[in-house]
Amino acid sequence: MVSNADFAGAEHGIKEGKAKTSAGWVAATAAPHHATGNRGLLSGFIIEHDDQFVHAVDGIPRKVLARGAVITDSVVLPDVWFVPGLTENLVSISQLVELDHSVGFSCGECCVRSTDGKVVGKGHLQDGGLYVLDFLKVPLAI
């Protein structure tokens, strides 16, 4: 099944192309799924055989080639799509909420809390209106 989804959209200023994926993670309210264009960030790499596609800012469908978990010093995030060509690492706010996390935005900051109220992620507003996460630690298994 083909899933067409608009990721961050032009209103967020996220460009898409052959440039190297940035190291930061952007809180993306328009992204239906966590995604990266950087294969090297993913552990437990699983090749996707479904015909899933996403649309970046340029509107060209990009195939989801695989999925895996991101495990770094500052980010632990399960179920992240690998979409070659994306130049931003995207944290899907809706996917976090589906995992029973709450996400709040205020005073130039973003805060992600687990169901018990523990802060599991924080970010800050950057020039250009994007919230970039300083850290995010989402459990890999529930």
Q: Tell me, what's the pLDDT at 4?
A: 34
Q: Tell me, what's the pLDDT at 22?
A: 55
Share above pLDDT 70 across residues of the chain, in percent, rounded to a whole number: 83
Cα–Cα nearest to 70, from 37, 103, 116: 37
pTM, entire model: 0.81
Q: Is 1 part of any domain?
A: no
Residue with tokens 């898409």: 16
Q: Is 123 part of any domain?
A: yes
Q: Is 81 part of any domain?
A: yes
Distance CA 84, CA 98 (A): 25
**pLDDT tens column, 130-142:** 999 999 999 887 4
The whole domain housing 111 covers 10-137
Q: Tell me, what's the pLDDT at 138?
A: 94
> How many structural domains are present in the chain?
1
Q: Is 106 part of any domain?
A: yes
**pLDDT tens column, 41-79:** 999 988 877 888 887 777 788 899 999 999 999 999 999
Side chain identity, residue 93? I
CATH code for position 20: 2.40.70
Write the CA distances from 19 to 38, 84, 86, 105, 126, integer angstroms: 10, 10, 8, 29, 20
Q: Is 4 part of any domain?
A: no
Q: Is 86 part of any domain?
A: yes
